[in-house]
Structure 1
Amino acid sequence: MRAMRRRTRGFTLIELLVVIFIIALLVALLLPAVQQAREAANKTSCESNQKQLVLALHNYHDTHNVMPPGQIVTRYLGDLTTATGRRYADPTEPYSNVQNAGLSGVSWMFHILPYIEQKNVYQLWRPDFNVFGNSELAFDNSAGGLWRVSGTPPALSNIPMFYCPSRRKGIQRNQFSHNKYIDTDAPVQLTPASQSRFGGGTDYAGCAGSGLLFNLQTRSLWDLTPAQLNTINATLTNPQAVNDVNQLSGNMGVFGANSSTTMSAMTAGDGSSQTIVVAEAERFEGLKLTPNTPRTALQIASDGWAWGGPATLFTTYGGPNKKLEYSFAGGPHDDIIIVGLGDGSVRRISKSIDERVWRQLGNVAGGIPAGNF
């Protein structure tokens, strides 16, 4: 008797398709949950970054009794003139200028480096040169004796804490700040098109107040020529007067040109819990900078923690996350923006916040309560 063969039954095509469909359905159901979990973790990490930034600012204040300046225009009182004191330092100016006029241009973020475990970058910085002098262009001239040591120029050092994990982990070429734009009506490139930045970015900025900033107002003192400034004020002798360049007194924020804001001023004014110190900066993610990309000058974001300009300062004059102007705050989170307050707390604020409330949160002593937010 012939033995019967046992036939092995395989999957039919229909059964295979059903299995594939079920797997695809499970992936489709689980993927949003995974993405939400990842974004939740990123938001928590972003909050932690800002918490550390505000803590570093408080530690700086404990040491120096003032908050760091938003930008050092002049390093020494003897350098303070109408021409140098009444405008911000332009990072396109040759590094040699700093030796004669003290035009430093360095931001508040530079000053807190020792307080966030970045003392090595802080010590590498050449204080006798400005931001331009500490950039890769000056570094390329190292054979001429400009630099004492070799390595990455300090202005291009990547500081992990300065990046929001929802947005990026470092400088991204051809996006956010192609070739280190300076935001004016005619954006200026600091390097040739083939030399994009490779480090030194930031996704956070300090609050400079609740008024108009940079070139957003027709007669902004930040953009006037020395001759025009001489006409306006030829008797500038006190560095404290520089504080009034950025904003009217009721609009002034924690940071400004040669500013020296104290915690007591914050507390006696609107209250430290009602004052934004740092927030996520607008970077227009998703809108790549290419010759074919339609974008206004106000939609070209600066980048770089070293320069105390549009890259590291913002105003609450306009609402957050609007993607309208580079001088406003804006983060990569769809429904909120994360901010650090003067009392050391970090808050998630709805992007739909009443703009009148948002504006009052940006100044130190506006005299108008911000209310609930």
Structure 2
Amino acid sequence: MIPNTAKRHSRIHHHRHVGFTLVELLVVIAIIGTLVGLLLPAVQAAREAARNNTCKNRMGQLQKGISLRESSTGDYPGYINKLGIAGAGIANQTRASWVVMTFPHIEQTALWDRWNQGFGSPPNLTNAYSNIEILSCPSDPAEILGAPILSYSANAGFIQRDPTSESGNVTENAANGVFFDLTRVEDGNGNSTGVPGPADIRDTPGPDAKITMTPAYIQAKGDGLTGTIMLSENLNAVFWGYRSVDDYTSNAPDRKFHFGICWEQPVVVAQAPGSTPNDKLDDRARRINGQKGNAADHFGNDDISMGDMVVNDGFPSSNHPGGVNAAFCGGSLRFITDQIEPFVYAQLMTSNSKKSDLQFNGVQEKDQPQPSDADY
């Protein structure tokens, strides 16, 4: 016979609940933490891949919008253009970026009509702006709610920071890029004495006519549409249009880097720093992702004017690891590494290597080998 005490101890031992010890609990927590640490980079990478794909899709829509416009007009828009009532003076004209010129082809008809009718004097900018989804990259989110944010810039060619003509004006060369200033006035287009014709306060009479770029020129005389950049990302781009009255009434000229990306001669940065502090180009900035920022932080406040931009803002950059997305004139979209050589990047920007101003080590681009896919 088993004593009652032994039976009681046996029952107690049989029904005891076994729980985690503190050591076991800590081990489980450590394992979970390790798994989370291993999975988090993969989750972040997947999210960035999704943002990158969205970025490409939006850039592709802009690319198609420009191509649709070209199909109807026969040419590409300028990086800056003049809209409004022709011959009615500045009061009824607007200075429109390449983005505005695509509005009829990216489902922004109401905004197009608003810009195309002129802003009056003083400029009335009511209902002239909105935040358009396809104009921003998800990895470059808007920091000023409702502002006309822009993540993409057009190929505006050679940055030309200093005047290059006897009259103190910047010359242009169609072979250097794709988008040009379509508000400029040609010397001698006025009366018989050669005095430039009427211009608004920011038109620059120059020694060259307005350059109208066409795909036919790039394909037949240039480097081909598939090898010429049309658009790329730029974290330093601000807005898709001049947003403030000051931007419309100041004497500040339109600059290529307001709405465009540019290239510089690979070896002249240190030799030619620019004539003003804002024209001083940092050697690092001329590379892809050389200068990364965002609009509000870059300028130090939310009251941003396009006049706050400087020459260093005119080069591609993105928040995508390792490079930027770019749309080519031929319709392709590519990711370009930020390890690309500045000269190769410039080659992709010029539209006609046989006549461009690009050179390296004293040798003109036409005598240099053309870049291969492995170079970028």
SS in 2 for 1:208: strand
- Paired residue for 1:218, among 162, 185, 189? 162
Q: What's the offset of the Cα at 1:255?
A: 3.6
Alignment of 1:106-125 (within 5 A): 106-125=96-115
CA contact (8 A) 2:83 2:115 kept: no
The partner residue of 1:322 within 265, 290, 294 is 290
Shift of 1:160: 0.8
- Could you say which structure has the larger radius of gyration? 2
Following superposition of structure 1 onto structure 2, how do residues 190-269 of structure 1 map, counting pairs within 5 Å? 198-209=146-157, 211-213=158-160, 217-219=161-163, 231=167, 245=170, 247-258=172-183, 259-268=211-220, 269=222
Q: Is 1:277–2:230 an aligned residue pair?
A: yes
Match of 1:344 in 2: 331
Give, in angstroms, the shift of residue 250 of structure 1: 3.7
Look up the equivalent residue of 1:172 and give its one-letter code: E
Q: Take 1:78 and 1:64, find their aligned partners in 2: how far apart are those partners? A: 21
Q: Give the deviation of 1:78 after TM superposition.
A: 4.5
What is the TM-score of this pair, normalised by structure 2?
0.64
1:154 aligns with: 128
* Partner SS for 1:105: strand
Structure 2 unaligned regions, length at least 5 = 184-210, 243-253, 265-285, 293-311, 355-365
SS of residue paired to 1:278: strand
**Match of 1:372?**
372
Equivalent residue number for residue 306 of structure 1: 241
Preserved contact between residue 56 and residue 333 of structure 2 (Cα < 8 Å): yes
Report if aligned partners of 1:246, 1:257 keep a CA contact under 8 Å in 2.
no
1:118 CA displacement? 2.2
Structure scoring higher RCO (CA < 8 A, sep ≥ 6) equals 1
**Cα deviation 1:104-159 (Å, max 9, x = unaligned):** 22101011122122223323446312899364xxx3xxxxxxxxxxxxx332x111
Query: What's the CA shift for 1:276?
Result: 0.7
Q: CA shift at 1:49, angstroms?
A: 1.4
Listed as ranges, the matches of 1:173-192 within 5 Å are 173=144
Match of 1:133, SS state, is coil
Instruction: Give the direction of change, closer, same or farther, for the CA distance of 1:358–1:162 in structure 2 (3 Å limit).
Output: same
Q: Helix, strand or coil: the match of 1:9? A: coil
Amino acid at match of 1:167: D
Cα deviation, 1:144-178, whole Å, max 9, x if unaligned, reads xxxxxxxxx332x111111111221xx214xxxxx
CA contact (8 A) 1:316 1:329 kept: no
- How many Å apart are 1:74 and its aligned residue? 6.9
Partner of 2:138: 165
Match of 1:25 in 2: 34
The question of whether the paired residues in 1 share the 8 Å contact of 2:100 and 2:112 is answered with: yes
Which amino acid counterpart does residue 139 of structure 2 have in structure 1?
S
Asked if structure 2 preserves the Cα contact closer than 8 Å seen for 1:315 and 1:327, the reply is: yes
Change (3 A) 1:111 1:250: closer
Secondary structure, in 3 states, of the residue corresponding to 2:179?
coil
Identity of aligned residues (%): 28
Compute the displacement of 1:32 (Å): 0.8
Residue 58 of structure 1 is matched in structure 2 by 67
Q: Is the 8 A contact 1:110 1:306 kept in 2?
A: yes
Give, as a single letter, the amino acid of the residue that structure 1 aligns with 2:345.
W
**Contact 1:336-1:351 at 8 Å conserved across structures:** yes
When the two structures are aligned, how many residues end up with a matched partner?
A: 271
**Which whole-Å deviations, capped at 9, do the CAs of 1:62-100 have from their partners, x for residues lacking one?**
111111221114767757xxxxxxxxxxxxxxxxx7316
Mapped to 2, the partners of 1:132 and 1:56 lie a distance apart of 31
Distance of 2:124 and 2:54 partners within structure 1: 30
**TM-score normalised by L of structure 1:** 0.65
Give the alignment's Cα RMSD to 1 decimal: 2.9
